[in-house]
Amino acid sequence: MSSSTTNTTTISTAGPPSRRNTELAMLVFAVIIPVFAYANAGLALSDEMPSGMLSYGIGLGLLAAVGHLVVRKFAPYADPLMLPIATLLNGLGLVLIWRLDQSKRLAQRAENAGQVFAASAPNQLIYSALGVALFVGVLILLKDHRLLQRYTYISMVVALILLILPVFFPPRFGARIWISIGSFSIQPGEFAKIIIAVFFSGYLMVKRDALALASRRFMGLYLPRGRDLGPILVVWGMSILILVFETDLGTSLLFFGLFVVMLYVATERTSWIVFGLLMSAVGAVGVATFEPHVQQRVDAWLDPFAAFKTGGSDQIAQAMMAFGSGGVFGTGLGQGNSDLIGFAANSDFILATVGEELGLAGTMAILLLYGLIVERGVRTALAARDPFGKLLAIGLSAAFAIQVFVVAGGVMGLIPLTGMTMPFIAQGGSSVIANWALVAILIKVSDTARRPAPTPAPTTDAEMTQVVRP
Amino acid sequence: MNKPLRRIAIFCGLLVFALLLRDNWIQYVQADELKNHDKNRRVLIARYGQPRGNIIVDGQPITGSVETNGTDFKYKRTYKNGPMWAPVTGFASQAYDANQIEKLEDQILTGNDDRLFFNRTIDMITGKKQKGGDVITTLNGKAQKAAFEGLGDKKGAVAALDPRTGKILALASTPSYDPSKFAGASKKDEEAYNALKPDVDKDDPMLNRALRQTYPPGSTFKVVTAAAALENGKYTDIDGPTDSPDPWKLPLSTQPLPNEGDIPCKNASLRQALRFSCNTVFGKLGDDLGKDKMLEEAEKFGFNEEVFTPVRADASIYPEKMDQPGNAMSAIGQFDNRATPLQMAMVAAAVANDGKLMKPYMIDSLRAPNLNTIEQTDPEEMSQPLSSENAQKLQSMMETVVKEGTGTSAQIPGVTVGGKTGTAQHGVANSKNPYAWFISYAKGDDGSPVAVAVVIEGSDTLRGDIAGGKLAAPIAKSVMQAVLETASDK
């Protein structure tokens, strides 16, 4: 801009480069790597190239291309890493699920249980397409992420409805977290995490000063006024209660973490962390005392191999042995026996397949990819210029990070298993779709954050403005 | 808001870092432990993922592998003449793990052993499937057959050794079982396995009687008592009279120790006492020597210690704590004195080998799939329970037993055979059928190639030393003949 000499704004117009071509280059890798992985698994399993290889490659490539073109058009300054990483994880997840579909052992297991063994990979591909469609939809329809502020209280209601609904549907695998209509079923908790983040961001943005300053000091802690904290406590408390009744521990933990993180960021008061930890301790002890489901999981975490003596679920032990048998370099795709874990091998426990077949190296790579998405999200929050965007970005990133930690930590025996799915990798429609939406919102926020400031208005009356200044 | 954001960034970083640390812990530090955990089915899947190596006797495999169409296991173990070889091989079952050689040498048989690393690498490069190595045993097929067929449908066991090296030549136990019957993981295998459990089959066919069952050794233990007497200088002339009244009362008791039948035991020489199996002479000998000297000699022969061949054999017992009459009773192989057939074969072998006891072993070598030997077992001296001179005296005594004593049925024309019969009382007040024992060795020009111990759990009500001579000695004889024949074939 040649007119920069007369520019009086503090924001430079020389914004960061858009990096769209970087994104394209990365996307090529994000498509090629899963295609090679697919070939690898096929060769290992049946000594021939998998028949669906071409269509799989084209399908994944198309999804990536559509995503890229829409980002290029509707969020040109977005962070260049998020779409490729999501594509790569989604693509690898599809390969892993396809690989587990070929397991004779799982087929046998379904047959013994009187069920028809259905391959999950085709469904997962459809869900991925739906996810990318939602990604595209969000990018196109959401002109500016700040529009979401308008829906603060509506999101609160929607989130609560989503959380309450599964109570009215029959439980599956011991948890009431599904809404099923006919053969179609969704897990509303996955969507609720995004909607609750929207509500928290909108509400905290308005109330953060009140929460931070208008508080009484009590035993070294700042206690806010009830009318400021009330709605949040209600939402949080209800979600926890409902989830406890639905025995969906992972999601309760996720919401609690989200709540504490966002409150802390909004108020900048460390006392919230202390307050949050105290509440979580009380909650955890309380739930653990009357909920046998929780006790079982804690016992299984303390001694995974006890299941072989006392009966009960040996999934954790099987997952640990899968990790151990993988060792540093893994057995190679298609050459492990992670299907010994049983029915959850392709959903909650899919990381064990990564561990066994891709080894320590592969698992660390996957964990680092997740870490990278979170890092880009936090960076977006730092760069965002509006408090709502900051809160939304950090909320979504933290939710993502906590979810990855809770699932991976549970599968690896670091913390008690709580039953959630690895974003993008695990089989499950709601999870894939919701996480694509999450990435879309982050991309939108980062686009706004990195977008160069609009060119100042023609400066002909700049002097006049100065005259007005006292 | 950026300060708390940075802190949250650090927090998220820590979460990922914790996951990475944990991952390294389970996939690097704990990996081997988890990989070889006994509940890790992959161990079995690997064990049966390719044909297992074989267990070899006389250059011929006594095991095999057959391809199946299971989801987990591609190959199943087969056994040639399973019941006969079961005490040697053990079993390897898809559903019930493995034992004995199959378990101990599993790494070689599956090809996972570190020493086969080079082979595996070559196979991997040339694209060949992994192959297991072989275990070459020291056993003698003919001797094993003679032992197994000799036992027939009687309950008992045979252990035969080469006294010069300690090589195990035969190891039979009856009733036996066929490990092929439950090598798979099917319903049928499960039934076959469950039918063998001791609480279903009272005969406990899976018990390896040659190594894992201890019996009162009865009069065969008199060989050890005689060795103790010679070694401690109690008597030096085996043909001189001993100071042995008949009847002889047990110490601290008014109970006389009876002899079996009307035999000349009063002041009998050691040779005569062993020939007629005089309880009075050996009971008093044990008492005169005292418990400590008896214990010392018994332990030199290998009592009170487990033997690893490498398959574990139970420790035979010469009790360390007992009163004076107990010691006297133990000196004639009764009371709490117990021995495995292998142990008694070791006693005979030590005498036959001029006093030197060689450590028994049954694995001669381990062989890689490419036929290279990767481990060779060398004979190892275990102890010297008696001097060469005393051993020869004892040999002379044992040879008299076979020539003109209770063991005449073990005579082999043209071969020097030494032996000792035994009938061990069994049950409260001798109420149950006694155990018939026979231990012996055969001798040629270049030392003794075979020592054997036979025990038969009372198959009929025969009492007295004649039982060992009548029931057990013919089996020992046929085993010795089988070994002598193979020796002369070479």
Of B2, B23, B26, the CB nearest to A367: B23
Inspect the interface and report whether the beta carbons of A324 and B4 lie closer than 8 Å: no
- The CA distance from B38 to the nearest CA of chain A, in Å, is 10
How many A×B Cβ pairs under 8 Å? 133
What residues of A are in contact with residue B16 (Cβ under 8 Å)? Answer: 367-368, 370-371, 374, 401, 404-405
Q: In this structure, what token pair is assigned to residue A255?
A: 């919401």
* B-chain residue closest to A382, CA distance: B2
Q: For residue A270, name the pLDDT band (cuts at 50, 70, 90).
A: confident
Residue A181, beta-bridge partner list: A184
- Do strands B435-444 and B307-308 pair parallel, antiparallel, or not at all (unpaired)? unpaired
Helix pair B291-300, B279-289: axis angle to 10 deg: 100
CA distance A137 to A125: 18
Asked if A364 lies within 8 A of B15 by C-beta distance, the reply is no
Q: Per residue of chain B (490 residues), give pLDDT as tens.
A: 788 999 999 999 999 999 999 999 999 999 988 988 888 888 888 778 788 889 999 888 888 888 887 777 888 889 988 889 988 888 888 888 888 888 888 888 888 888 888 777 887 777 777 788 899 999 898 899 999 998 888 888 999 999 989 899 999 998 888 988 888 878 888 888 888 888 888 888 888 888 988 888 888 888 999 898 888 888 888 888 888 887 888 877 777 787 777 788 888 888 888 888 888 888 888 888 888 888 888 898 988 988 898 888 888 888 888 888 888 888 888 888 889 999 999 999 999 988 889 999 999 999 888 888 888 888 888 899 888 888 888 888 888 888 888 878 888 888 888 888 888 776 555 556 778 889 999 988 788 889 999 998 875 555 554 567 778 888 888 999 888 888 776 5
Minimal Cβ distance to A324: which of B6, B16, B26: B26
Could you tell me which residues are beta bridge partners of residue B160?
B170, B452
In the structure, what pLDDT confidence band is assigned to residue A221 with cuts at 50, 70 and 90? low
Return the pLDDT at B347: 92
Residue of A268, A274, A325 to mutate for B, most B C-beta atoms under 10 A: A325
| Chain B CB within 8 Å of residue A179 CB | no
Q: Are the Cβ atoms of B34 and A359 closer than 8 angstroms?
A: no
Q: Provide the pLDDT for residue B10.
A: 94
Chain B residues within 8 A of A340 when measuring between CB atoms: 41-42
For chain A, what is the HEC assignment? CHHHHHCCCCCCCCCCCCCHHHHHHHHHHHHHHHHHHHHHHHHHHHCCCCCCHHHHHHHHHHHHHHHHHHHHHHCCCCCCCHHHHHHHHHHHHHHHHHHHHCCHHHHHHHHHCCCCCCCCHHHHHHHHHHHHHHHHHHHHHCCCHHHHHHHHHHHHHHHHHHHHHHHHCCCECCECCCEEECCEEECHHHHHHHHHHHHHHHHHHHHHHHHHHCEEEECCEEEECHHHHHHHHHHHHHHHHHHHHCCCHHHHHHHHHHHHHHHHHHHCCCHHHHHHHHHHHHHHHHHHHHCHHHHHHHHHHHCHHHHHHHCCCCHHHHHHHHHHHHCCCCCCCCCCCHHHHCCCCCCCCHHHHHHHHHHHHHHHHHHHHHHHHHHHHHHHHHHCCCHHHHHHHHHHHHHHHHHHHHHHHHHCCCCCCCCCCCCCCCCCHHHHHHHHHHHHHHHHHHHHHHCCCCCCCCHHHHHHHHHHCC
CB contact under 8 A, A265 and B32: no
Tell me the pLDDT of chain A averaged across its residues: 84
Contact residues on chain A for B7, CB-CB shorter than 8 A: 264
Chain A residues inside the 8 Å CB shell of B15: 401-402, 404-405
Chain B residues with beta carbon closer than 8 angstroms to that of A388: none
Residues from chain B that touch A406, judged by Cβ atoms under 8 A, are none
- Inspect the interface and report whether the beta carbons of A340 and B6 lie closer than 8 Å: no
* The total number of residues written for chain B in this structure: 490
**pLDDT confidence of A60, banded at 50, 70, 90?**
very high
A407 in contact with chain B, both atoms CB, cutoff 8 A: no
pTM of the model: 0.71
pLDDT at res. A408:
94
Higher pLDDT residue, B255 or A55? A55
Query: pLDDT confidence of A5, banded at 50, 70, 90?
Result: very low
ipTM confidence: 0.90
Active-site residue list of B:
219
pLDDT, position A105: 80
pLDDT of amino acid B428: 55
Please report which confidence band the pLDDT of residue A249 belongs to, taking 50, 70 and 90 as the band edges.
Answer: confident
Would you call B28 and A323 a contact, using CB atoms and an 8 Å cutoff?
Answer: no
Instruction: Over range A97-119, report the average pLDDT.
Output: 82
C-alpha separations of B336 from A181, A279, A381, A431, B427 in Å: 76, 68, 83, 71, 12
Cβ pair B1:A265 closer than 8 A: yes
Residues of A whose CB is below 8 A from B34: 320-321, 323-325
Interface contact B40-A325, CB threshold 8 A = yes
- Helix B222-231 × helix B291-300 angle, to 10°: 110
pLDDT for residue A134 is more than 60: yes
pLDDT (tens digit per residue) in B323-366: 888 888 888 888 888 899 999 999 999 999 888 899 999 999 99
CA A422 → CA A98, A255, A357, B101, B245, distances in Å?
Answer: 16, 16, 17, 45, 89
- A398 and B13 in contact (C-beta within 8 Å)? no
pLDDT for A166 equals: 80
Query: B169: helix, coil or strand?
Result: strand
Residue A417 pLDDT more than 50? Answer: yes
pLDDT of res. A468: 53
Phi, psi of B156, deg, nearest 5: 175, -170
Candidates A349, A378, A402: best to mutate against B (most CBs of B within 10 A) is: A378
Nearest CA in chain B to A270: B4
Whether omega for the bond prior to residue B310 falls within 30 degrees of 0, making it cis, is yes
Question: Are the Cβ atoms of A405 and B18 closer than 8 angstroms?
Answer: yes
Cα angle at B239 between B233 and B245, to 5 degrees?
A: 80
- Among all residues of chain A, which has the CA nearest to that of B31? A324
Q: What is the pLDDT of residue A133?
A: 95
Q: Is residue A17 reached through a cis peptide bond, with omega within 30 degrees of 0 on the bond before it?
A: no
Which single residue is written with the structure tokens 């300054």?
A77
Most confident of A224-228, A350-354, B46-50, B116-120: A350-354
Helices (H), B141-240: 141-151, 187-196, 209-212, 222-231
CA angle B13, B16, B21 (to 5 degrees): 120
A181 burial level (CB within 10 Å; 0-12, 13-18, 19+): exposed
